[in-house]
Chains A and B, each alone.
Chain A
């Protein structure tokens, strides 16, 4: 052993430790110094994102803090859509001015939002009020972590019939307990990339009243054939079209094939073919994916992939429909009303036409809506209820409508949203036609949506990949029905 080396090593170790400590000190010192800086940053950033509203928000936050100290009540509220956050902040500010209750809004991305809630329920670290989703709330109801609103509604005489028909009932459990008041709704339309109509001989007007059927695809299939172009420039309705090497697909589903609900994909087609997900909705006991109407629609869809009018599963999942559509690799796409802004303000020269009319003789769109729920962990259920009630009232919903992001659940506020879109030069009648004509159907509500999504999603993806057939779907349906769907 080289004993001479020892002191050096000792010195080295000391040096290393000293360096680490110094680093920690520097870091800690920086931390102290920059406290104010950091809050300045936050203010600046909200100014960046929300123009002058942001500045107001930040200032009112501080005022709100004082008020909360005075009245002693502040509640936490979570949402996932950052596009709507400024408008809900405006609601919260008005609400604070009226009631003296401060609302702290926190926003998370979709995945983190639900993981955070799940872990939060286990530990009690959840907000008082949060934005709820129809696919998720049955499992929350089953776990008894939401506060039923019935007593509040009764005590305050809160109207539940001021919303678009059916929206409020979605949030009533089989027991009769109500777990949310609706805030918005969405429907589906066909988005057309107008730049890609050139050369197809079609205009946006030609696409306004398309129809489809599972045997020859109807005028919808004709249109997407004409809009499909292969690598050599040959169109889908011309001889010599190479379905294996397509440059522009006539149509792309916004939802990937591996989905059990396909809100922005096949649901508008299966709905138009008379398919219903459940024996009863909400809270059915049996899924009916083995229905012929469903299976024939799926097999027709697969034929569209084989013909080269629709992208294969690898491409759709690999790049994602939004990238495919933005890149100009697909001419049309079914998408939801919350994306109106996306397709009218970005690179895509988008126009909206109603979804095709199905064999049943009418159009069809899934009708989905969000609501706000109160958690049992809340220390202030009464104040939380006031906030939920406020968000479900015309006062707040008209602010939300003015944001032109979503359609609020109250018809008068929906009108505000339509006007706001019209002021931007966007015609959204392709979306609202569904509520005007009553061609909506409800999102299927049962427990176990995550398992259903995986089981049925895989079965449908297998069919679309040519690795499964009708029997695959029937087997998956049996598996889905063996789950504890209602408790």
Chain B
């Protein structure tokens, strides 16, 4: 058993419960990390001797922080100070987010015609309609299927790439190339892949042809369309996600790896015992953002799903994701179903908020290992 005392700056994850965070939340904890070379490898990292206050010690200097209560930190300015920092964002939030959101929720209880921009209250009718609508439930299923494939692929790949960049090369050139797909607008990504996946002249099908595989209509076949869309967005976002994770990895003190290497730990062990646990806060940010983003997938579906000749949502509703459902109810058909679209959007907002809060709690629960 080898133990090292280090001070780890941990970027906190947000918690809905803690008014004042105990550990982690405020930036860092002093931890004693031990690598058990025994076979109890399920918990290779044991972090004990954590300073339970919120003091932070910079890892480079190794100086110990004096135990300090948060209230003594002299940062408590109350609203009188906070308001000046929050004023611009509060204005923007109120005007461009809050008022529209409240309006959307109000519309979800109305028989609302978008063209007239007016409606009459109709209680829960819109909710009754969408909950009774097979197409709505199908949209939820299709979207969830997409999210699972996309997030699994993207996160695993991005983690792998981030580790490679961290441990193998820090070349700016490599990072630049990985970021390129993310820089293209969604619509163009959709079109580019529509072209590459075309059954008649697409390069992917040409290559499959060399192996004797008949052309596959990736975007017009009910079984292929969602996996194809998930792969397209994985292509677009993996580099970006990898860079965020890579950024998070840079906050992990090098001496942890050095100590670990001295013990003869393999790269994989180091990943499992050092990288992953200490990356958790940034991983939480990345997961929360990318899961919300994936549930809102729309542009690429609009541009590519159904194939060149087909319509978004085709074939047989297999690519009708929830945002497309909301768009169609809201904008097509002369806007007379705008209330239904608002109801679907409200359900989605509540669902995403629940998922996000649960996710943050779960990830925080995971973090308690460190404490």
Contact = CB atoms under 8 A, between A and B. Distances in A.
Whether A and B touch (Cβ < 8 Å) is answered with yes
B314 to A, nearest CB: 5
B193 to A, nearest CB: 13
Given A317-B307, A317-B310, A461 B316 contact: yes
A283 interface: no
A462 interface: yes
A457 B312 CA distance: 12
Contact of B314 (A1, A317, A448): A317
Contact of A122 (B115, B201, B314, B336): B115
A318 B334 contact: no
A329 B200 contact: yes
Interface string B308-334: 111101111100000000001001111
Interface residues of A, number: 46
Contacts, number: 137
B208 to A, nearest CB: 14
Contacts of A138: 334
B230 to A, nearest CB: 18
Interface in B42-86: 58, 60-61
B128 interface: no
A318 B317 contact: no
Contacts of A457: 311, 314
B316 A320 contact: no
Interface of B: 58, 60-61, 113-117, 135, 198-201, 214-215, 217-221, 306-311, 313-317, 328, 331-336
Interface of A: 1-2, 114-115, 118-119, 121-123, 136, 138-140, 142-145, 245, 256, 258, 313-324, 327, 329, 447-451, 454, 457-458, 461-462, 465, 467
Given A314-B221, A320-B308, A143 B336 contact: yes
A143 B336 CA distance: 8
B117, B308, B309 interface centre (most CB from chain A within 10 Å): B309
A298 B217 CA distance: 23
Contacts of A144: 116
Nearest to A254: B309
A136 B331 CA distance: 12
A277 B332 CA distance: 21
A256 B311 CA distance: 9
A317 B61 contact: no
10 contacts: A2-B60, A136-B334, A258-B314, A258-B316, A317-B314, A317-B315, A319-B199, A327-B200, A457-B311, A458-B317
B335 A318 contact: no
Contacts of B217: 314-315, 317-319
Contacts of B198: 318-319, 323
A313 B219 CA distance: 12
A461 B307 contact: no
A37 B182 CA distance: 32
B314 A450 contact: no
Contacts of B313: 454
Nearest to B335: A118
A321 B220 CA distance: 13
Given A315-B217, A324-B200, A465-B315, A121 B335 contact: yes
